[in-house]
Structure 1
């Protein structure tokens, strides 16, 4: 039964969308003196920071990473928000005996800062950050690490995310997947990618976990 739940972080648990987009625009504008097109934005959203910056400039990507991180750090406490219902969701999952992991393209310090900002750290049992893996999503390495940590079977775990990389990561690992409907990714980015569930609100996750548990009773 689903006693283990993996969440992506940005755009799934925490609403960092506005900050991430602003940081990207400001980084490219200030370092490369140009504007980002919609095509550029969709090409990099959800990817790891080094890959995002290399997309714009191989020569200046390290300088761009530093600028991005500084901009993000300066604005995160005022621009980052928590999606409605996340507190109740995590609290209910823990009451059902679920173990909760985060697998993210963000660094560990950024994840911990966001969790502490909204008092969510108490609910998280395990974190796999961008720097804890050699292979990035959609490679399933981060899920394999969670499976190893929890010592559970693939049928016991689900990954919940907002990006095609999250869903492909779960598919590649052979586990159940759920896409949140509050994703900022357009439908065309999910062409040919079929999650097991689409979640319209956080409480839907509780229904999925409980319905799966009922099958084993």
Structure 2
């Protein structure tokens, strides 16, 4: 899928597997938690299909009936190993800086719980990069449901109504999992269904265009992302700058 210039006004990023490399920390914490309950260590391929879902949903599949305690054990272990395992992907800090300096609004949309997400952002040094952030606690429903993306847009619309009311507003959603691509498509469908005389339509504007970019360097295989038919495939986070015609600024740094 060729990378071409598109004038996106805002970019909404997933966190794990997109901005920060947490894959091994997640796998290690799942193995630790499942071993705690079962005495056996699962294969990583048994865990990967559920990455990207909220933690409670993952454990409802992997350890049904033990979700609450499993989440507690997982979070304790994952928090402890974050400094050892977690780091930003190459080019992330520079890409976010160029986007912000170019007037692009940035959002973070993650199914991760706020404390652990903030820890990862802080380790990566990108905790102050976003105009709007939505964590697990901020919505009742989670990706692939459109609620987290719509919540992020609502925050942006309320914080900067003049910017959000501009013509030809285009939003790019960037993520590493099929769940991210589905959420972007579901958000576009949800916007178009808003009746023009509703409060939601007045805030979120059904004419806003949402597209998706799937990254192939995260926790999922390229073919898993391709199945969801994202508008773009990118192999490096700096290719987001290509989509906005800004990569010359990265090259000059």
Say whether the fold is shared (TM-score over 0.5).
yes
Q: Which has the larger radius of gyration?
A: 2
Alignment of 1:1-217 (within 5 A): 1-151=7-157, 152=164, 155-174=169-188, 175-190=210-225, 192-210=227-245
Secondary structure of 1:210's match? coil
TM-score, normalised via structure 1 length: 0.91
| In structure 2, distance between residues paired with 1:97 and 1:130 | 27
Over 3 Å counting, the alpha-carbon distance change for 1:199 and 1:21 in structure 2 is same
2:176 touches 2:220 (CA, 8 Å); kept in 1? yes
What is the alpha-carbon root mean square deviation over aligned residues? Answer: 1.8
Q: CA deviation at 1:115?
A: 1.6
Aligned length: 211
Secondary structure of 1:176's match? strand
Gap runs ≥5 in structure 2: 1-6, 158-163, 189-209, 247-253
1:155 touches 1:176 (CA, 8 Å); kept in 2? no
Gap runs ≥5 in structure 1: 212-217
Q: CA deviation at 1:8?
A: 0.2
Over 3 Å counting, the alpha-carbon distance change for 1:135 and 1:36 in structure 2 is same
Q: CA deviation at 1:187?
A: 4.1
Q: CA deviation at 1:209?
A: 1.6
TM-score, normalised via structure 2 length: 0.78
Q: CA deviation at 1:40?
A: 2.5
1:46 touches 1:163 (CA, 8 Å); kept in 2? yes
Q: Which runs of 4+ in 1 moved over 4 A?
A: none
